[in-house]
Amino acid sequence: MPDPVTAPSAQDAYDTLTRRFARMGHIANALGILGWDKDTMMPPGAADSRAESIATLSVLHHGIMTGPDMADLLAAAEPADTWQAANLREMRRLHAHAMAVPPELVEAASRAASRCEMAWRTARRDSDFASLLPYLGEVLERTREVAHAKAAALGLSPYDALLDQYDPGTRQADIDPVFERLAIELPGLISGALEHQHAHPAPTLPRGPFATTAQAALGQTMMRTVGFDMTRGRLDVSLHPFCGGAEDDVRITTRYEDDDFLNALMGVLHESGHALYEQGLPRAWHSQPVGAARGMSLHESQSLLMEMQVCRSAEFMAWAAPVIAGALGGDAQAPEWSADTLHRQVTRVHPGFIRVDADEVTYPAHILVRYEMETALINGRMALRDLPAAFNERIHALLGLRVPEDRLGCLQDIHWPSGSWGYFPTYTLGAMIAAQLREAAQKAHPGLMDDIARGDFSTLLSWLRTHVHHRASSASMRDIVRDATGAPPGPEAYLRHLRHRYCGE
């Protein structure tokens, strides 16, 4: 008779799980580098081959996660401490998501997104939504299938199932009241900010051209200043700024214009906030679920805290202005290179078409539009062919702008072509958390902004390391924010910040 199969001990089961999740983490690292290369350096002729490579690795990752004994291991494992308990909780959450989707759908969704991303590059350049429609239609169909499969398995609505992938535990029921309040507050905030701004003449800015090499060198100087470890990351160029890469290889990108250095610089500082979070995650838990960042709302809070809350402040510009002038060959004593001029420019309110270039006051309007569009598309309340007209109508209603072409409208973002449905609300949730965290950090360290005025980010970074970065996914986003600030996430600090900075209240 064959020997009976012995069930693994609780510790053996946990150890086996950590090895398997480490293997999946290594695959995710490879996917991160392949994705970065695809968006920065890959020649267009490699698109089909790259799509196959990414799809294959995605299937391998999914296959490990959904292995035949994974459920038994997850049931048998018992944690030895609180971090192991959190790790096991995250393992079970990720397994539940993965088991909800059959591998053939994972592969189909990955291929559809890769093809659509490449088609989007041409469609965006040519402002040709019709050419993207079949590719985006396939992505939407696969996304709906994933959403419904996960909704059935997890007991959620289809949109909540997608949102849970990016911000675990956050639901439409959490978002809708906040966004409804913003929709009410925004018109008054925008008009108040514009009225306050009209009392001051528009700043006279430095005139280009500004060499890309000089802008890139300036960006790297600022990355080092805020605390980015250049031995574990790099700066490159892409059509859409992003932060990606792998563990201990965090790669950020920006895009340059020879007549405007501030957009690229603020893009670098924004993505550096993301990168600092990734570089600050606990290395002892690399490649384990508990060692990952705690969702995209908290991730976006780190980029928006760095860019909007801190690096667009008068204190930061007091230090940065002469550094910027020196790097770009300007006269630090000239009015157009002054701290006041640059600060007024980076805090100038100007309703515009492009989300990534939007100011703090009008930015939430861009997110409200995208949130309305994607929830309607996922829930089947709107046909994809009607997206451009609906998008343009809502931009006009919220910002008073007439979108002249789809390149400046629904084609501007990579999120939907890449399959990232449910991501957009995390930007504004992140902006609210950023304001809340900055208030708490400043309360704990009253001299914080004096440090920033000297180009010293060490106090801020240390506070973030302790209260956000080092906690990784050991607790929920709400608990991390509550522990750091004394209150759950909410819009109050964000609205106070906007009124103070832009309306003079």
- List active site positions: 271
Task: Please provide residue 233's backbone torsions phi and psi, each rounded to the nearest 5 degrees.
Answer: 180, 180
Cβ partners under 8 Å of residue 213, min gap 6:
none
Q: Which two tokens stand for residue 46?
A: 């490699």
What distance in Å separates the CA atoms of residue 344 and residue 230, rounded to the nearest whole number?
Answer: 30
Tell me the CA end-to-end span of the chain in Å, nearest whole number. 83
What distance in Å separates the CA atoms of residue 248 and residue 409, rounded to the nearest whole number?
Answer: 36
DSSP string, 403-465: --SGGGTTTS-STTTTT-TT-THHHHHHHHHHHHHHHHHHHH-TTHHHHHTTT--HHHHHHHH
Numbered residues of the known binding site for Zn(2+): 270, 274, 300
Nearest to 228 by CA among 281, 265, 273, 282: 273
Runs of H (alpha helix) within 329-385: 339-346, 363-378
What distance in Å separates the CA atoms of residue 157 and residue 379, rounded to the nearest whole number?
Answer: 9
Nearest to 472 by CA among 94, 169, 86, 171: 86
Q: Which two tokens stand for residue 132?
A: 């993207």
State the residue for tokens 């980029």: 303
Numbered residues of the known binding site: 270, 274, 300
Cβ partners under 8 Å of residue 173, min gap 6:
none
